Amino acid sequence: MTEYLKHYSVMLKECLEALELGSKASGSLLLGDLTFGAGGHTFALSDHIAGSMVYSVDQDPDALKNGEENIIHRGKVGIVKLLPMNFVEFPDWCEQNQMQQKFAGILMDLGVSSHQFDKMERGFSFRADAPLDMRMNHGDNSKPTAADLLNTLSEKEISDLLFTYGEERLSRRIAAKICELRMTKKIETTSELEDICFHAYPAKDRHQKTHPATRSFQALRIAVNDELRVLENTIPKLLPYLSEGGVLAIISFHSLEDRIVKHTFKEILEKQDFPVTILTKKPLTATEEELSINSRSRSAKLRILQRESQLGRVDGTKKKRFKT
Ligand SMILES: C[S@@+](CC[C@H](N)C(=O)[O-])C[C@H]1O[C@@H](n2cnc3c(N)ncnc32)[C@H](O)[C@@H]1O
């Protein structure tokens, strides 16, 4: 549990402000954190919004186990509830559980946690040799690991995957080298993939700021966890469970995710099934002060939308607070 207590929660102040606005505007004290991780945002929300109840989702069995211990440790039993699931299942869960109240705010802090990334045996990082797993829900053996994908997809499929999810310009060369190696042996470890990527790059480009394996590792992680499709499918389905005046706040960490958040918010706005106001015309980014403490916040982008009341916009003046 102690390793989870050290976690840094990205753009925390901005998230607290956004969900507090949702709570005040809607009168609801029900909050949702769909990416519990180390619980940093969840516990801060619970402390910040008096009387609130937080439902928090995660698909990672380690995060959930530590979360349950942490809930007891922090005296939050009955105040913070953990839901073990992929967040794409959350709207159905709300439907099935006939939630009496709607949410004042729902937060998503996307991607892997620093804890998952730093735990070498999870296979997200090439900083140490480990099995190429990369499943956030590593308890689910029905889902392919990163190694499974590399050993079964065709060369073209691997190349497309690296290009689409990693924006890797040398995707074809890397895919060809992967297929060459797997003729002699299965690809099983992070070091093997790191070595392939490194040698696929021309010698002059191997020691740039971004390591040659970074984009391929990102691409595989996104593919293994089906991250973009899950995100795209979840966002619109959350609207019916948001109170009028409630907010949806989403932090993304790379352009593929941010693009989905931006476009999906726009579609919701245009469709008008649920009238909303987008409170962030441009995404919010971390302050210099935060960046000096946590460099991972550098790529964070926070977008927020608010459900309007049927009578019109809820507290439109608050929009100003979220300008960049
Ligand atoms: C960036 S971390 C969240 C950190 C958290 N906000 C905090 O302050 O401690 C993302 C977490 O969301 C979980 N996660 C990512 N995608 C998910 C999904 N589709 N369904 C459920 N959990 C997911 C990951 O397992 C990880 O624990």
CA-derived radius of gyration, the chain:
21
Confidence of residue 309 (pLDDT cuts 50, 70, 90): confident
Q: Which fold has domain 2-115+227-322?
A: Rossmann fold (3.40.50)
> Whose Cα sits closest to atom 24 in ligand 1?
112
Q: Per residue, what are the HEC states of 49-78?
A: CCCCEEEEEECCHHHHHHHHHHHHHCCCEC
Tell me the per-residue pLDDT of 163-173, one tens digit each, with 9 for 90 and over. Answer: 999 999 999 99
Average pLDDT score over residue span 181-206: 96
Whether ligand 1 lies within 6 angstroms of the CB of 84 is answered as: no
Confidence of residue 59 (pLDDT cuts 50, 70, 90): very high
pLDDT exceeds cutoff 90 at 5: no
For residue 42, give the nearest of 1, 83, 3, 2 by alpha carbon. Answer: 83
> Whose Cα sits closest to atom 2 in ligand 1?
113
> Whose Cα sits closest to atom 8 in ligand 1?
40
pLDDT attached to residue 232: 98
Q: Which residue has the higher pLDDT, 193 or 209?
A: 193
pLDDT attached to residue 320: 44
Q: Which residue has the higher pLDDT, 135 or 7?
A: 135
Confidence of residue 317 (pLDDT cuts 50, 70, 90): very low
Contact 70/39 with Cβ under 8 angstroms? Answer: yes
Tell me the per-residue pLDDT of 69-101, one tens digit each, with 9 for 90 and over. Answer: 999 999 999 999 999 999 999 999 999 987 778
pLDDT attached to residue 318: 46
pLDDT exceeds cutoff 70 at 110: yes
Give the position of tokens 């099983």. 188
Contact 149/224 with Cβ under 8 angstroms? Answer: yes
What three-state secondary structure class fits 252? strand
Q: State what percent of residues in the chain have pLDDT above 90.
A: 88
Q: Which one of 1, 36, 87, 250 would you pick to mutate in the ligand 1 pocket, going by the greatest count of ligand atoms within 8 A of its CB?
A: 36
Give the residue extent of every domain in the chain: 2-115+227-322, 142-224
Q: Which one of 35, 56, 297 would you pick to mutate in the ligand 1 pocket, going by the greatest count of ligand atoms within 8 A of its CB?
A: 35
Whether ligand 1 lies within 6 angstroms of the CB of 162 is answered as: no
pLDDT attached to residue 324: 56
C-beta atoms surrounding 234 within 10 Å: 20
Whether ligand 1 lies within 6 angstroms of the CB of 58 is answered as: yes
Tell me the per-residue pLDDT of 248-286, one tens digit each, with 9 for 90 and over. Answer: 999 999 999 999 999 999 999 999 899 999 999 999 999
Whether ligand 1 lies within 6 angstroms of the CB of 37 is answered as: yes
Cα 66 from chain centroid? 18
CA of 106 to the centre of ligand 1 (A): 13
For residue 23, give the nearest of 43, 50, 55, 57 by alpha carbon. Answer: 50
Could you name the CATH architecture of 142-224?
Answer: Orthogonal Bundle (1.10)
pLDDT attached to residue 101: 82
Tell me which of 85-99, 115-129, 201-215, 303-317 is least confident.
303-317
CA of 184 to the centre of ligand 1 (A): 37
Whether ligand 1 lies within 6 angstroms of the CB of 70 is answered as: no
Whether ligand 1 lies within 6 angstroms of the CB of 40 is answered as: yes
> Given this chain, do its domains 2-115+227-322 and 142-224 carry the same CATH topology?
no
Tell me which of 22-31, 98-107, 211-220 is least confident.
98-107
First to last CA, the chain: 36
For residue 314, give the nearest of 282, 265, 287, 276 by alpha carbon. Answer: 276
Average pLDDT score over residue span 2-20: 85
CA of 303 to the centre of ligand 1 (A): 17
What are the backbone angles phi and psi of residue 301, rounded to the nearest 5°? -130, 130
Q: Which atom of ligand 1 is nearest to the CA of 87?
A: 20
What three-state secondary structure class fits 304? strand
